[in-house]
Structure 1
Amino acid sequence: MLHDAPATQPRPRFGLSRFLTNLHNNADMAGVSPQKSFLGFIFAWVVFFGIMLFMPQPDGLTLQGKATLAVVVWASIIWVSEAIPVGITGVAIPMLLVLSGAVDKFPNAVSGFTSNAYFICMAAFIMAAIIQLAGIDKRIAITLLHKLRIRSANSTIMGLFGVNFILSIIVPGANPRGALLLPIVNGITNLFGDTPAERAVKKHIMIQVLVYGSMISGMCILTSHLPNLVLVGLFSKELHIDISYFDWFILQWPYLGMFFLTNIWLRWHFKTKNMEIEGGAQVLTEQFKRLPQISQSEILILLIFGFTASLWMTQSWHHISSHIVAMIGLVLLFIPGVFPFKWKQIQERTIWGTLIMLGGALSMSQCMGSSGLAAWLAEHIHIFAVGHPWWLILLIVMVGTHIIRLGMLSNVAAISLFAPILVKLAPTLGLHPVAFTMLVADTDTFAYILPTQITVAVIAYSSNTFSMTDYAKAGWVSVLLAIGYGICVMVPWYAFLGLPVWDPTAPWPF
């Protein structure tokens, strides 16, 4: 008996079209823009090899400086296009520094991973993961808001800023603070209806609290804003100046005034001065009642963190460096029995990718100084700024920084690129290197024109509360306010402390 032959299965086709389609689909499923990431990835390598192989050797720049320039441009394009995860850039930067000849030894290429700032950040990230696992961050947020008994849009904003500032002491980075507060803010904004006035209130609360509040509160606490650590590491390396936890707060606390200034502007812009919240206090009361009783673990964690914070703030007395204090606190937290969490739970909540990216960014920043690239770039920027009074120089450089920042998402990446140049540029313009660098770097924190300039703004934008246009219309004025605040408020404050920006020879006052 004859049987029918089995049907021949068509062979899969693996042509170029199918290959590219698979790449496109994989990138899309990975959560990145296929077109933007592919173009950015290819363009980054084309420019890297173009600088290395075809760019003539610039006058006054060493071979190591040219190689560092290639790495800096590669990293900038990758960061802007988000072609690869930021953590992988932290690994790729040291690799490229070695292969390009920017450094001659691998330990020099990974110097950022052995810096004081890196170890402070690592300890802070792990501490934050433990605090989040214990639910301490949520307990603090809900308890404070409940006690404040918020009834209006403005009282909500002020109360949430207080929560944000307290969380900045224990949660490093604006992004995790924004992610923590997002559901709380959403719960409050959902109490409003859908009239034009109520939609305006939602926009005001979301932008002011989640974006402006998260960024501004982090500027004052050394460990709560990663660019702070980049600057401290740079000053230690280049200028041999060590800034303590308490010194940083003394220098930066006046920036808290920017929150109130931007809030006045947004309240006028969105016309939300007298908006009341019906049932706001009741919602928070219900959330407060659902909180479990505080546990022994939470008490022990808070005591250890309080002890660590006290050591940070009294460094001038005991002379134990901030990074050593951070590691002391971390070791104390892992005394057996302090908390019931497994290491796997902690590591899942630790933002390792950002930490690795910080190490690579710090390494690149240090190489920009050691290779002469920062000094070379400073000389070229010097042409546009020289001959002007100090306030006009600040204005020119601050505005230029914001123009460049339109295409960059990472505040850490931007400061890692700008800060080494600013330190070298300051003496050539007759300005104090610390005061000048901090003033310009701080204005970068207020990159509020597009949500894509700051990760926490992307988190806020995901709420669908405001549009790109809403954000830009409010943001460009906030940027101008920040520039004016830096020149008119922070410059006199630094001068009062003994750091006049117009005196490059002023000694370190602390």
Structure 2
Amino acid sequence: MEFKLSQKIGLFLGPIAAIILCILPGGIPGLAPIGVKALALTLWMVIWWVTSALPIWVTALLPIAGSIVLNLAGMEVTEEGVNAYGSYAAPVTMMCLGVFVLGAVIEKWNLHRRIALSIINMVGGRPSMIVFGFGLATAVISMFMSNTTAVAMLLPIAIALISQLGMTKKDGFSVALILVVAYAASIGGMATLIGSGTNLSAVGLIKELTGISMSFTDWLIIGLPFTIVLLPLATLLICKMFKVGQTDLGDTKVIREELKALGKMSKGEKISTVYLLVAILGFALNDQVAKLLPFISNEGFAIVLLVASFVIPVNWKKGEFLMDSKTALEKTSWSTFILLGGALTLGGIFKNAGIAAWIAEGLGFLASWPPILVIIFLCVVVAILTEVVSNFVVVAAFLPAISGLAVTIGMNPMFLMMAVSLSASFAFMLPTGTPPNALVFGSGYIEMKDLMKGGFVVKVLGIVIFPVIMYAVAAPLSPLF
């Protein structure tokens, strides 16, 4: 792969900018020396993340490597530094590992494919309903697996259907179908705590910054309403925009043929279905279970599931179990695992070094704004940034500052932090916004103008309905508000 000029510039610009910031005469007004160092480290990381100077997960190790250069952090929290190691093994990173293996079990036994095809087959043969069916299937799968995996599985099925119908990228149905698969993955990933690494990062940072532990149910109460409302509305708008209703589909038997080709459920598929149901119930009922077994947390349950998958037999004689080492290692996104640790560490540095409070003071003008305008303002800013910067990075950089801002302007920090966490998933316009966008753009069935036009409409829709759902649905239901 070619090492681009922007990457070369970013490689040197990151550390140079950090060093310049550290040696500024007089420092930065209102920020202690340790805060200046921490801000310099943050700037270094952001430059490398934005320019892709190094793999994103390598940059996530800068809280350790960069801290050595800047004499910022070490093993312990002191007056001169902060802990740069502990968060890489924080409870939420362990949960992340358990979730990856849960997704690997579903994928190993092909359960995700059967779920998707069954949903699509169930919605009927009308063009708009088929588009919605693909969106629904993608969203459901992305609630429990990575958004990228959901798209990678549904996209070939969508392309096969388009090919059978004799359509091309010039047909509105083709464009709408491909776009909805990408958008539904991001929308579905908002619904559950384990729906994306961004959500797990947000939960970890919220715990780090406020001491509030969000359970699976806590997130579900807030995130699921957005998915339920946003998915059908986004699908409807995309179908209208690309005139899907005027399409004559003819024979759509490829879906039925694909489903029939799966045959009866294998023993492994049946066991993985039970395994998935137990996982869902365990996460959903964690609050109730904790009253009886207080030592079992979401993170602990995720690791119990991980270990259990290696001892649940599918074929005892052959020594075949629900999960095996080779599949688990291949399907685990170790880069995301490290990213999560880096994000949590950066959040801790922000808080302990006083940067969050310093930024909050700078945004103090928002104190005179009505709360709903503050939320809309943050949603717009984050939704724009997330098109060019990883969702993960946006959450890692914003949440520590937002925590301090909430205290400064007298708002519930959970309102603002969840607004940032969820609107970070509104990356619908550019291939760089999120891997699902890149995957569908690379399919050759959509052009940049299609992605930008459709993405802009869905992004605006998300920003418009966000405060409505937050105030009318999530806030009344969630005890966190």
Report the TM-score, using the length of structure 2 for normalisation: 0.90
- The Cα shift of 1:278 comes to 2.2
Deviations 1:242-275 (Å, cap 9, x if unpaired)?
1111121112221020112222222222122242
Displacement of 1:34 after TM fit? 2.2
Aligned to 2:293: none
* Gap change, CA 1:121 and 1:55, over 3 Å in 2: farther
State the alpha-carbon separation in 2 of the partners of residues 224 and 368 from structure 1. Answer: 26
Partner of 2:31: 61
Alignment of 1:44-443 (within 5 A): 44-54=14-24, 56-105=26-75, 108-148=83-123, 150-171=124-145, 173-194=146-167, 199-209=171-181, 211-256=182-227, 257-280=229-252, 282-319=253-290, 320-335=296-311, 337-338=313-314, 339-340=320-321, 342-383=324-365, 385-408=366-389, 410-443=390-423
**1:285-331 alpha-carbon deviations (Å, 9 max, x no partner):** 22122215322222222222322221111112111310011011111
Is contact 2:132–2:235 with CA below 8 Å preserved after alignment?
no
User: Which residue, 469, 472, 475 being the options, matches 1:495?
Assistant: 475
Of residues 421, 444, 464 in structure 2, which corresponds to 1:464? 444
1:386 alignment partner, SS class: helix
Q: Judge conservation of contact 2:382–2:394 (CA < 8 Å) in 1.
A: no
Q: CA–CA distance in 1 between the matches of 2:297 and 2:327?
A: 29
Q: Which amino acid aligns with 2:97?
A: M
- 2:317 corresponding residue in structure 1: none
For the 8 Å contact 1:44–1:77, the answer to whether it is kept is: yes
Distance in 2 (CA, whole Å) between partners of 1:295 and 1:426 is 52
Q: How big is the shift at 1:98? A: 4.2
In the TM superposition, residue 440 of structure 1 has moved relative to its aligned partner by 3.0
The answer to whether the Cα contact below 8 Å between 1:65 and 1:102 also exists between their aligned partners in 2 is: no
Which residue identity is paired with 1:346? A
The one-letter code matched in structure 1 to 2:272 is: I
**Contact 2:14/2:48 (8 A) holds in 1:** yes
Contact 1:446 1:482 in 2 (8 A): yes
Deviation string, structure 1 residues 6-58 (Cα, Å, up to 9, x no partner):
xxxxxxxxxxxxxxxxxxxxx42xxxx52232222122222122222346411
Q: What SS does structure 2 have at the residue aligned with 1:223?
A: coil
Structure 2 SS opposite 1:324: helix
Residue 194 of structure 2: SS of its match in structure 1?
helix
Q: Distance in 2 between matches of 1:397 and 1:222?
A: 21
SS at match of 2:46: helix
Distance 1:381 1:190 in 2: 52
Aligned-pair CA distance for 1:147: 4.0
Separation of aligned partners in 2, 1:43 and 1:465: 37
Aligned length: 464
Aligned to 2:80: none
Q: Flag the 1:163–1:404 CA change in 2: closer, same or farther, 3 A.
A: closer
Q: Which moved more, 1:241-250 or 1:484-493?
A: 484-493
Cα distance in structure 2, aligned partners of 1:493 and 1:427 = 24
Closer, same or farther: CA 309–396 of 1 in aligned 2, 3 Å? closer
Cα shift at 1:106: 6.3
Give how far 1:347 is off.
0.9
Partner of 1:482: 462
Q: Using the TM superposition, name which of 317-326 and 42-51 deviates more.
A: 42-51
1:275–1:216: structure 2 CA closer, same or farther, 3 Å change rule? same
- In the TM superposition, structure 1's runs of 4+ consecutive aligned residues that sit over 6 Å from their partners are none
Aligned to 1:448: 428
Which residue does the alignment assign to 1:21? Answer: none
Contact 1:133 1:346 in 2 (8 A): no
Amino acid at match of 1:284: I
Mark the runs of 5 or more structure 1 residues left unpaired by the alignment. 1-26, 500-507
Under a length normalisation based on structure 1, what TM-score does the superposition of the two structures give? 0.85
Are the structure 2 counterparts of residues 498 and 195 from structure 1 closer, same or farther at C-alpha, using a change threshold of 3 Å? closer
Letter in 2 for 1:333: S
For the structure 1 residues 405 and 297, does the alpha-carbon distance in structure 2 shift closer, same or farther, using more than 3 Å as the test? closer
RMSD value, Cα: 2.2
Looking at structure 2, the residues matched to 56 and 464 of structure 1 have their Cα atoms a distance apart, in angstroms, of: 54
Q: Report the CA distance between 1:386 and its aligned residue.
A: 3.2
How far did residue 232 of structure 1 move? 1.5
Amino acid at match of 1:120: M
Tell me if structure 1 keeps the 8 A contact 2:103–2:144: yes
Provide the rounded CA distance (Å) in 1 between the counterparts of 2:247 and 2:410.
Answer: 49
Determine if contact 1:37/1:82 at 8 Å carries over to the other structure.
yes
Amino acid at match of 2:134: L
C-alpha separation between the residues in 2 aligned to 1:194 and 1:292? Answer: 28
Structure 1 residue matching 2:363: 3-state secondary structure: helix
Of stretches 102-111 and 310-319 in structure 1, the one that deviates more from structure 2 is 102-111
Give the letter aligned to residue 265 of structure 2: I
| 1:188-211 alpha-carbon deviations (Å, 9 max, x no partner) | 222344578x622211111122x2
Partner deviation per Cα, 1:125-150 (whole Å, 9 max, x = no partner): 122123222222222222333344x4
Specify the code of the residue in structure 2 equivalent to 1:396: F
